[in-house]
Amino acid sequence: MVAAPALLIAAPASGHGKTTVVAALARLHTRLGRKVRVFKCGPDFLDPQIHALASGHACENIDFRMCGEDDARWRLARAAEGADLILVEGVMGLHDGEPDSAELARRLGLPVLLVIDASAMAGSFGAVAWGLKHYRDGAPITHVLANRVGSDYHGELCRATLPADIVWAGALPRDLEAAMPERHLGLLPAAEIADLDARIERMADLLAATPAAGLSPAVEIGASPRLTFPELLADKSIAVARDAAFCFLYPANVECLEAMGAKLAYFSPLADATLPECDAVWLPGGYPELHGPAIAANRGMRESLATHVAAGKPLLAECGGMMACFETLHETSGAAHAMFGLLSGSVRMQTKLAGLGMLEAELPEGRLTGHTFHFSTADTALAPIAQATRSAGKSTEALYRVCRLTASYMHFYFPANPTAAARLFLP
């Protein structure tokens, strides 16, 4: 059993400012000389990039369905061994998802700091907080922060509505200069927000004047068996795409590959003319739809990838990585761009969501869990080797294989089955 100050930051719904508050708390305590570790509930790739910048350490994911409860407990316990503060950002609304953030907080023993966008309310503020605390099986909400208030007086109106069992954590003003810019998959990647550090610093300054700055309840975190990783990838080199178009990588996946002995070599499919020397390639998700012209122009990378696949070497392409492997990508504007041409067919962007949810898949290599979230559809005559399914058993995403190229809209979580993950990168 280990203990450390810890909080789970939640909200009534997406868009109330959880990410900004978590990043501001992380930066505030980091610049005070404390070691802060941040976690994100759910399969998010974008919020963790912001938290990594704010805290100076990689932000890991917690999700009982995709990652497993033992995985979450082990990672929290590992962080608690050296952290002065652990912050966990909830997913969507407090009672959204399965399990939701309220259940995660109860099962992990984490007190909840509730963030409510109070910009369009005053007298209802306390009712919302009370309702979220006592709904269903309840949630361990200890404090509440009013976000985006119009004035000090507005904040006091909100404070006056609170029930006795929820403590006031202060108020933050509306501040467009600290807000995080968004697009179709959520917040912008951290690398694309030129003034992100200044935005985080600005919000940390505002937060420093609130009671929330001093919240640090000690929490006992039950130890879980340390994860073990078989050294199935010893002496294997894996080329990992990482640039503006391919930027969705779980830190836990990278750690898993390295723990199994793999040597990772990062490259840019946008800028590099050829692959680095490698035994396997990993094309993770990202935004190929925003870089169509650059991908189309990089003939050297197209030829290098084709040579790699033709040689029977493994290649894993997830979501945006798979999109880039088809022959053509069509934008919503009608513009079309040549992709790497490793898979026959095309993908077409659309303005509405095409896939969302937690998944599991039975591959020849074994069972893997993960999730899907995309705004494009694939048109191909390729026959799937498997279908990823949701918990109810409904098929949602096809998994394709050409030679040793494995492709799907599904993002895999490698630590859920390290052996199966390793086999995807072996001949």
User: Quick check: 183 pLDDT over 80?
Assistant: no
Does residue 52 contact residue 24 with C-beta atoms inside 8 Å? Answer: no
User: Quick check: 153 pLDDT over 80?
Assistant: yes
Mean pLDDT of 200-221: 89
- Backbone phi and psi for residue 159, each to the nearest 5 degrees, phi listed first: -60, -40
- Residues 305 and 151: their CA atoms lie apart, in Å, by 57
Instruction: Tell me the pLDDT tens digit for each residue of 264-276.
Output: 999 999 999 999 9
User: Quick check: 170 pLDDT over 80?
Assistant: yes
- Residues 185 and 178: their CA atoms lie apart, in Å, by 20
Task: Pick one of 3.40.50.300, 3.30.70.260, 3.40.50.880, 1.20.1250.20 as the CATH number of 237-423.
Answer: 3.40.50.880
Instruction: Tell me the pLDDT tens digit for each residue of 291-328.
Output: 999 999 999 999 999 999 999 999 999 999 999 999 99
Instruction: Tell me the pLDDT tens digit for each residue of 365-377.
Output: 999 999 999 999 9
Type of residue at 225: P
pLDDT at 128: 98
Instruction: Tell me the pLDDT tens digit for each residue of 344-369.
Output: 999 999 999 888 889 999 999 999 99
Read off the pLDDT band of 187 (50, 70, 90): low
Residue found under tokens 């122009």? 297
Other CB atoms closer than 10 Å to residue 386's CB: what's the count? 18
Mean pLDDT of 192-217: 88
End-to-end Cα, the chain, rounded Å: 42
Mean pLDDT of 238-260: 97
Read off the pLDDT band of 394 (50, 70, 90): low
SS3 annotation, the chain: CEEEEEEEEECCCCCCCHHHHHHHHHHHHHCCCCCEEEEEECCCCHHHHHHHHHHCCCCEEECCCCCCHHHHHHHHHHHHCCCCEEEEECCCCCCCECCEHHHHHHHHCCCEEEEEECCCCCCCHHHHHHHHHHCCCCCCEEEEEEEEECCHHHHHHHHCCCCCCCEEEEEEECCCCCCCCEECCEECCHHHCCCHHHHHHHHHHHHHCCHHHHCCCEEEECCCCCCCCCCCCCCCEEEEECCCCEEECCHHHHHHHHHCCCEEEEECCCCCCCCCCCCEEEECEECHHHCHHHHHHCHHHHHHHHHHHHCCCCEEEECHHHHHHEEEEECCCCCEEECCCCEEEEEEECCCCCEEEEEEEEECCEEEEEEEEECEEEECCCCCCEEEECCCCCEEEEEEEECCEEEECCEECHHHCHHHHHHCCCC
User: Quick check: 121 pLDDT over 70?
Assistant: yes
pLDDT at 224: 73
Read off the pLDDT band of 15 (50, 70, 90): very high
Mean pLDDT of 228-249: 96
Residue 317 or 228, more confident: 317
pLDDT at 272: 98
pLDDT at 176: 64
Distant-in-sequence, close-in-space partners of 68: CB < 8 Å, separation ≥ 6: 416
Q: Which of 132-136, 156-160, 188-192, 226-230 has the lowest mean pLDDT?
A: 188-192
All structural domains of the chain with their residue ranges: 2-221, 237-423
- Give percent of the chain with pLDDT exceeding 90: 85
Type of residue at 358: M
319 as an active site residue: the answer is yes
pLDDT at 182: 64
- Give percent of the chain with pLDDT exceeding 70: 96
How high is the mean pLDDT of the chain? 93
Residue 3 or 422, more confident: 422
Question: What angle (nearest 5°) sits at the alpha carbon of residue 239, between those of residues 327 and 293?
Answer: 35
Cα Rg, the chain, nearest whole Å: 22
Residue found under tokens 């990039």? 49
Topology of the domain comprising 2-221: Rossmann fold (3.40.50)
Mean pLDDT of 14-36: 95
Residue 216 or 118, more confident: 118
User: Quick check: 248 pLDDT over 90?
Assistant: yes
pLDDT at 276: 98
Read off the pLDDT band of 48 (50, 70, 90): very high
User: Quick check: 418 pLDDT over 90?
Assistant: yes
- Backbone phi and psi for residue 359, each to the nearest 5 degrees, phi listed first: -135, 160
- Residues 53 and 170: their CA atoms lie apart, in Å, by 25
Read off the pLDDT band of 245 (50, 70, 90): very high
Cis amide bond preceding 111, omega within 30: no
- Which residues on adjacent β-strands are paired with residue 115? 145
User: Quick check: 125 pLDDT over 90?
Assistant: yes
pLDDT at 192: 76
User: Quick check: 206 pLDDT over 80?
Assistant: yes
Q: On the CB side of 142, how many CA atoms lie within 13 Å of its CA?
A: 16
pLDDT at 197: 87
pLDDT at 396: 85
User: Quick check: 251 pLDDT over 90?
Assistant: yes
Instruction: Tell me the pLDDT tens digit for each residue of 49-76.
Output: 999 999 999 999 999 999 999 999 999 9
User: Quick check: 193 pLDDT over 90?
Assistant: no
Q: Which of 67, 319, 325, 403 is catalytic?
A: 319
Q: Which of 1-10, 151-160, 265-274 has the lowest mean pLDDT?
A: 1-10
